[in-house]
Structure 1
Amino acid sequence: MGQVGRRGFLRGVGAAAVAAPLAGAGTASADIDVDVRLDLGLPRLPGLPRWLVGDHHVHTQYSNDAMYTIDQVVAGAQRHGAEWLVFSDHGHVAHEAHSVEPAHADIVAARRRHPHLLLWQGLEWNMPAAEHATVFLPPSRDEAALLREFERTFDSRLTGTGASTPANEAKALEALRWLARRGGLVVVNHPSRNGRIAPAELRNWHDAAPGVVIGMEGAPGAQGDGYPKPDGSGGHRGGYGNSPGGDSWPGFPAEAYRTFGGFDWMTATLGGMWDALLAEGRNWWVTSNSDSHFNFRDTIVRQPEAPDLYDRAGKHLDPLPGGPVQTQPPYCDFYPGEFSRTVVGATDRGYRGVMDGLRAGRSFVSHGGLVQRLETHVFAEDRLSWPVGLGGRLRVRRGTDVTVVVLAQLAARPHSGGELPRLARLDLVHGAVTGPATDRQGFRAAEVAVARSYEPRFRAGRTVGFRHTFRNVRESFYVRARGTDGRRHAPGGIEPIADVRGAADPWQDLWCYANPVFVDVR
């Protein structure tokens, strides 16, 4: 396929068979195979993003409950292909008093040693009236001072604003407006773990700072917590083993406190909280991360130290390599990029590029290397424009035919669990955009369904995919793609099933999710 005009391109793609299976014939690469793009009329254009693997939720020895040096985290991340990291040590009295500047010096030194990596200094913020969120700002000469000011002023552990009260909720909104003036980003961490984040709070935060609060962890870290232990014990995958507490929102069902295929209930539930936010047309994206504190099967162990060392110094002693393989708690996390990946489409390989990509929703998440790439492209035949990708919005006239192409690049090598992941199915989820919620505490979206499922033929390192056309569209909608290794489903269906305490081997239940594409019908 040579040079093709836009009108010819759209005419040719629109005439292709609906839901026709695709199989790439090119070699494995770091991107979707070029020949498949061409076959679909999706050429490699100059403006296509560069896909970068990363993690926005990572802890070090500067957290009260973690141990790794920054160099140890960076080394592990490099082994597993991560290209950007946000160090998000916990907000804490000792952290604000002692840790911010020393951690910043370590990060700056790591940037010099690893100029090909993008390393942010962030914070796991104890949100007033809520739980946790990752906060990070564009790197600058003032980044440590700004981070320390934010922690001192707005972290609930330092300000005594943790209780769910109207005054503390207002404090959280004040913090978000502070971040908006400084170009910061916020991702809500493990949103359902303790039931402390009510649906109305998610909406309030997004309304107050839509360019700051970009979404939530679709899947938490600590994915090894439910792994069967040699002694027969075991926890809950993601650390989701809690029950409602005094500050939990009472409207959540019991299943909200568990993971499904390793993903948070808000994300994994078809027609659930994530879909309810998307049904309003909100730019609400999902991520995935390691939440690295102590990594499963590691041989790095903490040194004995005085019980009050962290409170006095804001830092634990450097841990030592060469110990026995650790599989018991608290060793239940993975290194960045090892199991959980957030893959961002950046228009440039820099700090601004990644932050802009996250803010725009040009990202997908994958567990266990199930897919290397997951892309969704949406286009209409009556528009003289190129397809719209992840996080984008396509505007069409009522009555238009809208075509969706979903592409996945399969795994080319075994994951660190020892197997070559096999993508068993891709689903295209379709939901109606119905406008602002009449119930701010609502967490269900009625008009959501799987529009198409596709079972690819496995071809290591190759691209597979399908297309689906929505005929004569009348109302606005969104689409999002997900995939699975097909090992665990709800009985008689295709939905993810709740993880079982002490019997949740994360490598045996892999999923991937792409952020949505909206179609605005006028």
Structure 2
Amino acid sequence: MSLKKLLIPSAIAIALVVVACGGDNDPVSSVPPLPAGRWIAGDLHTHTTQSADADVSQTLDKILSKAFTSYGLDWMAVSNHLRVSTRDEKGTLLPAQIPMSLGMERYELPRVQALQAAGTYADKLIFSGFEWDMPTHDHIGIGLFDGANTSVKGVKEFEYLFTTRDPAMFDAADVTAWKAKYGETRYNKSAADALQAISWLKTNYPDSSYAVINHPSRNKGSYSIADFRAFNDLAPDIVFAIEGMVGNQMEPDRGGYTAAYTDDNALLRVYGGVDYVVAKLGGPWDALLGEGRRIWNLTDSDTHFKIVGRNSSGYLPGEYAKNYVFNSSTGKPATRDLLLGLRSGKMFSVYGDLINALDFNLASKDDRKEMGGELKVASGDKVTITMRFKSPAKNNYEKPVDSGTAANVKPVVDHVDLIAGDVGTKAQPGSAAYNVATNASTRVVKRFTAADWKVDADGYYSVTFETTATRNQYFRLRGTNLGTDVAGLTANGEPLADQRTSTTDDTQRFNAINDRNYGSLWFYSNPVFVTLR
């Protein structure tokens, strides 16, 4: 099914509407309509053969075809590792290693431009970002732009300043200019150097860059809650997202989280394929939201290859994981519009096409705010919560895996949780609160099931719920195809840590991994804030 057929105007998309009324029976009036536009689906974290750890068959043309032709995405970032490039976009071995920024300039961008100029993917937004090995931490997905285009000049300068690349690999005139600007100093070793890179983005690309924290808990000690706060404090319009719904879902250790399966490694696991940071109710993400921080959740494929020989890694872009971002334009997505959408928080993320659109808006009698927004109400105002959702006729589940044979399974939502947490003051650097990674106020306010919702004339499921505004809060959604108590998968509605799929036979293991993933589907919305005026 074409994705365009699934994208729907915001006014009729899946909606959770919170209505604050001035009196017990006041009708909602003068509420501004939802803005015109559409949901666009995409992926910020993909690799091609120009990343040395991607398979040689993972050519740029293949990834683009899978993303846009096979799985109907609207936008995609090619985000190879900011390391050396050893192959071109076709997988051909280069005579000598070159900086990734040069590989981007010589091979990646020209090929995309040529395809679009010829009319292939002309209506799609395709741009180049990169995945940076952040000193003392882990991976950060970065994009930086001059107008509508990736700034190759900026990527080259970033690679020189913030990696250990040999200066002799860069153009001599560029190195001379950089040394004149920065002296002999480079920033590629310490935590302070990591912050320097974020500061550099803020100085040079304050409105046209992003830095997403990728697979935050995959490696022990990669990030602390204080790191998240420091990054966001330094550049809130750049470091505004965490890849909580991680890629590499075809790995035996779901998401590639390979730490030993012991109780003391609970923070290094994925839960329903979702990093602990986001999956834990009242955990690190809720701690950040509880300060009113505008930090959003994302999902990505992190595609390197799907199945090669005896190994499996990740699904292809759009095959299993999708980010839906609201775009105010109904035409071809533009880089600036996508950045605004990502930064606004008006987006949601999903595995296995469990749902395919989501509006989540709070409306008073004279105002309305959506995901990422803030609605100001008076204490004591009634809050009516209405949820509407719809799932596609089928997802991309294949059986056997990678066979091209569709399993023809319609994803079905078992329940949706309305989650709320209190919002207090922002933790200050150096305080004890800066290291607190929990929000004790976070709770499931209401769990909605098929017993609660009804089917509208347009085929959407809907349900309403009322509460009263008494304090500053945020509301977010989490939904799944699983029941509340499924052995090994959920307990009292909470996702359990995913266990390793260790079947010895390769074919059986690949199928077991795929069955595991499509049997455990989740979506997460970004929050809407409610502030007492």
Q: TM-score range by the shorter chain?
A: 0.7 to 0.9
CA contact (8 A) 1:370 1:421 kept: yes
Q: Aligned runs of 1:1-400 on 2, under 5 Å?
A: 29-31=6-8, 45=33, 47-66=35-54, 67=56, 68-78=58-68, 79-93=70-84, 94-96=98-100, 98-102=102-106, 103-112=108-117, 113-138=120-145, 140=148, 143-155=151-163, 165-178=190-203, 180-181=205-206, 183-195=208-220, 196-225=222-251, 235-242=252-259, 253-296=264-307, 326=308, 328-329=310-311, 331-348=312-329, 349-381=333-365, 384-385=366-367, 387-400=368-381
**Which residue of 2 is the match for residue 501 of structure 1?**
500
**Counterpart residue identity of residue 283, structure 2:** G
After superposition, give the CA deviation of every residue in 1:270-302 in whole Å (9 maximum; x if it has no partner). 000110000000000011011111024xxxxxx
* Corresponding position of 2:423: 433
Q: Is the 8 A contact 1:396 1:519 kept in 2?
A: yes
Q: 2:94 matched to which residue of 1?
A: none
* Cα pair distance change 1:32/1:496, threshold 3 Å: farther
Give the 3-state SS of the residue equivalent to 2:44 in structure 1. strand
**Residue type at the aligned position of 1:238:** G
Residue 450 (structure 1) aligned with residue 444 (structure 2): yes
Deviations 1:470-507 (A, max 9, x none): 21x22100000110001547664000111110165211
| TM-score, structure 1 normalization | 0.78
The answer to whether the 8 A contact 2:82-2:101 is kept is no
Paired letter, 2:105: E
User: What is aligned with 2:459?
Assistant: 462
Residue type at the aligned position of 1:134: G
Whether the 8 Å CA contact 1:380–1:401 is kept in 2: the answer is: no
Instruction: Report if the CA contact (8 A) 2:10-2:359 is conserved.
Output: no
1:377 to 1:180, Cα distance in 2 relative to 1, 3 A: same
RMSD between aligned alpha carbons?
3.0
Contact 2:269/2:275, CA 8 A, preserved across alignment: yes
On the 8 A contact 1:129/1:172 being kept in 2, the answer is no
CA contact (8 A) 2:14 2:389 kept: no
Structure 1's unaligned 5+ residue stretches are 1-27, 226-234, 245-251, 297-325
2:417–2:446 CA contact under 8 A, matched in 1: yes
For 2:226, give the aligned amino acid. A
Offset, 1:95: 3.4
Amino acid at match of 1:451: V
Question: CA 1:448–1:204 in structure 2 vs 1: closer, same or farther (change >3 Å)?
Answer: same
Structure 2 equivalent of residue 482 of structure 1: 478
Q: Please tell me whether the aligned partners of residues 362 and 528 of structure 2 are also in contact (alpha carbons under 8 angstroms).
A: yes
**Residues 415 and 421 of structure 1 are in contact (CA less than 8 Å); yes or no, is this contact kept in structure 2?**
no
Distance of aligned partners of 1:395 and 1:458 in 2 relative to their CA distance in 1, 3 Å threshold: closer
Q: Distance in 2 between matches of 1:271 and 1:90?
A: 33
Q: For the Cα contact (< 8 Å) 1:267–1:274, is it kept in 2?
A: yes
Residues 82-137 of structure 1 deviation map (CA, whole Å, 9 limit, x = unaligned): 11000100011343374121222122223323211100110111112211111112
TM-score, normalised relative to structure 2: 0.77
C-alpha separation in 1, matches of 2:224 and 2:14: 42
Alpha-carbon distance change, 341 to 123 in structure 1, aligned in 2, over 3 angstroms: same
What SS does structure 2 have at the residue aligned with 1:168?
Answer: helix
Partners of 1:475 and 1:34 in 2: CA distance: 28
C-alpha distance in 2, partners of 1:459/1:510? 22
Cα deviation code 1:338-397 (max 9, x no counterpart):
10000100112322211110000010000001001122121224xx12x21111110112
CA distance in 2 between partners of 1:53 and 1:61 (Å): 23
| Distance in 2, Cα, partners of 1:444 & 1:39 | 26
Percent identity at matched positions?
29
d(CA) in 2 for partners of 1:439, 1:374: 33
Q: Secondary structure at 1:372's aligned position in 2? A: coil
Contact 1:405 1:468 (8 Å CA) reproduced: yes
Query: 2: CA distance between counterparts of 1:390 and 1:193?
Result: 28
**Do 1:275 and 1:445's aligned partners in 2 also have CA atoms closer than 8 Å?**
yes
2:254–2:270: 8 Å Cα contact kept in structure 1? Answer: yes
CA distance in 1 between partners of 2:6 and 2:455 (Å): 13
Deviation at 1:434, TM superposition (A): 1.4
Higher mean Cα deviation, 501-510 or 365-374? 501-510
Summarize the Cα distance change of 1:107–1:44 in structure 2 as closer, same or farther, 3 Å threshold: farther
Are 1:261 and 1:496, in contact at CA under 8 Å, matched by a contact in 2? yes
The separation in 2 between residues aligned to 1:171 and 1:35, in whole angstroms, is 44
How many residue pairs are counted as aligned between the two chains? 444
In 1, the alpha carbon distance for the partners of 2:479 and 2:490 equals 18
For 2:248 and 2:415, locate their aligned partners in 1 and report how far apart those are by CA, in whole Å: 25
Q: Would the aligned equivalents of 1:240 and 1:257 in 2 still touch at CA under 8 Å?
A: yes
Q: 1:413 to 1:134 in 2, by over 3 A?
A: same
Deviations 1:132-162 (A, max 9, x none): 1111123546722221211221246779866
Deviations 1:430-452 (A, max 9, x none): 10001213521211100010001
Amino acid at match of 1:106: R
Distance apart, 1:217 and its partner CA: 0.5
Deviations 1:236-286 (A, max 9, x none): 000011369xxxxxxx95111111000001010000011000000000001
Structure with more strand by fraction: 2
Q: Give the Cα–Cα distance (whole angstroms) in 1 for the partners of residues 318 and 303 of structure 2.
A: 11
Query: 2:99 aligns to what SS in structure 1?
Result: helix
Q: Contact 2:269 / 2:276 at 8 angstroms: preserved in 1?
A: yes
8 Å contact from structure 1 (residues 129, 168) kept in 2: no
- CA deviation profile, 1:399-457 (whole Å, cap 9, x unmatched): 22223333222122242332211111111001000121352121110001000111136
On the 8 A contact 1:91/1:157 being kept in 2, the answer is no
Q: Secondary structure at the match of 1:213?
A: coil
Over 3 Å counting, the alpha-carbon distance change for 1:510 and 1:327 in structure 2 is farther
